[in-house]
Amino acid sequence: MKFQKNTIALLLGSSMAAISGQAAAHWSSGPFLYNDAGTNPMHLAAAELTNPATGTTFGTYEQTRAGGTSYGWIQAADPALWGNSHDNSGLAFTLSQTSKVTFTINTLGTATQVTPTGTSSYTDISGIDWTPAFSIFKGLAAQSSHEGAAANNTGLAANTPGNVEWGPYGSSQPYTAATDATYEATTGNTYTGNGTWGNFRSTASWVSGRDLSATAKFKDGTLIGTDPTLGGNNTSLLEYVDHIMGADGSHTVTGTFTLGPGDYSIWIGGTSLADAVAQQNNYQGLYNANLTDGVAYSDAALAYNTHLSTASPELQAAQAAYNAAMASHTNTQADRDAATDALQAELDKDSTAQSLRNTMLTAGADIIHYTDAIAHLRAKEGYTIQTTVSAVPVPGAVWLFGSAIAGLAGIGRRKSIAA
């Protein structure tokens, strides 16, 4: 019997882990695509500022990245439901002067692994081609941001109307009339939905935030502090500038912008509306399955793990190896299949363990199904991003005006000499 990849996440934790676990994933704007200002606005470690693929002077630069999902960008265009930043890929760039900036994004087709720029290890990606889109925002996300109500961060909580109960962050900040009222009073915006999927918005400004901690530090070692106010180190506004969508069925998107000096974020994701709807149904299905089957599944998982604690060392080792293989982001499918076969070989020697595991998998069949379906659609995508930065062309009329002034100056000088 083969076991699906994501089952193990539910074996070792509560049955609700599949819904709330995403909140543990943190992100920041970055890495940098371009920075000609010589600044370190994200307080990165020195080594992160020396990436040779990061542009520092006018020119063209290219990086390979993994992140985003097939539906992440289009989901976040929904003005009522919003989107999940974890389903998109955020990068940063800084301009010291007004510049002409062109971004070109190309997907990696059916590749299943990619080695992101600046790393030496590969990352698994979906292997399914997708259509990209991107949005540009003025500002950078707070370090280690995440959706949901960040611990003690009242500034972040006040800037989201609350999350839908079936979404990955519903348990951390449920949507209520009070959260809606706080959001509207704080932002001056009217919200007409019944809770959001996350904080990310692809066609409007949005707010990112992190947990407040008196001991947390930036990567350069300086303290972040505990200021929750918008614009501080823990809560930041990403101000919408513009967006470009790839044509349906295409696997590339490009756009050129004239941007003033400052720090910017570019967020990249897919445009599959069908996948966005399917994922919404998956989350709702998982929520309902946990309500109906969560207790029975947790009890069955506990019974299996209790037996496992006294089982043969070989079975314990096989289960541990299986857990590690499934959790790894660098193992190949062959590695996972080998770990599955090794575990099954040990289960074949322990009929009680096999029976308890079968009971667990039966009790949690719907939970496992929706967890795997969510993970399948949330598989990372791979892409290259080419960044070209150049001076803003001076209009011809300005040159003509300048020539006329120079000519008048020359005439005046000749008259002066003649006199």
pLDDT, residue 397, reads 53
Residues 6 or more apart whose Cβ sits within 8 Å of residue 66:
89, 114, 116, 123, 125, 380, 381, 382, 383
Tokens encoding 1 = 């019997």
Kindly report, residue by residue over 256-295, the tens digit of the pLDDT.
999 999 999 999 999 999 999 999 999 999 999 999 999 9
Tokens encoding 228 = 């929750």
Where do we find the tokens 């590749």? 111
**Distance (Å, whole) CA 394 – CA 30:** 31
How does DSSP classify residue 141? Answer: P
pLDDT, residue 43, reads 87
* Neighbour count for residue 371 (Cβ, 10 Å): 27
The alpha helices in 159-272, defined as continuous H runs, are: 177-187
pLDDT, residue 31, reads 83
Q: Model-level pTM?
A: 0.85
Q: Mind listing the pLDDT tens digit of every residue in the chain (419 residues)? A: 333 333 433 343 333 333 333 444 676 777 899 999 989 888 888 777 767 899 999 999 999 999 999 999 999 999 999 999 999 999 999 999 999 999 999 999 999 999 999 888 888 899 999 999 999 999 999 888 888 877 789 999 999 999 999 999 999 899 999 999 999 999 999 999 999 999 999 999 999 999 999 999 998 899 999 999 999 999 999 999 999 999 999 999 999 999 999 999 999 999 999 999 999 999 999 999 999 999 999 999 999 999 999 999 999 999 999 989 887 766 778 888 999 999 999 999 999 999 999 999 999 999 999 999 999 999 999 999 999 999 998 775 554 555 555 555 555 544 444 45
Instruction: Answer yes or no: are the C-beta atoms of 275 and 87 closer than 8 Å.
Output: no
Q: Which residues pair with 63 in a beta bridge?
A: 385
User: Whose CA is closest to 197, among 283, 71, 269, 91?
Assistant: 283
Instruction: Answer yes or no: are the C-beta atoms of 238 and 141 closer than 8 Å.
Output: yes
Q: 95 — phi, psi (to 5°)?
A: -115, 135
Residue 162 CA to chain centroid, in angstroms? Answer: 19
Q: What is the dihedral of CA 285, 286, 288, 294, to 10 degrees?
A: 150
**Distance (Å, whole) CA 190 – CA 10:** 38
**Distance (Å, whole) CA 355 – CA 276:** 37
DSSP line for 345-401: HHHTT-HHHHHHHHHHHHHTHHHHHHHHHHHHHTPPPEEEEEEEEEEPPPPHHHHHH
CA distances (Å), 276 to each of 263, 269, 283, 303, 385, in order? Answer: 30, 12, 11, 36, 24
Bridge-based pairing state of the strands 89-95 and 32-35: parallel
Q: Which residues pair with 226 in a beta bridge?
A: none
First to last CA, the chain: 104
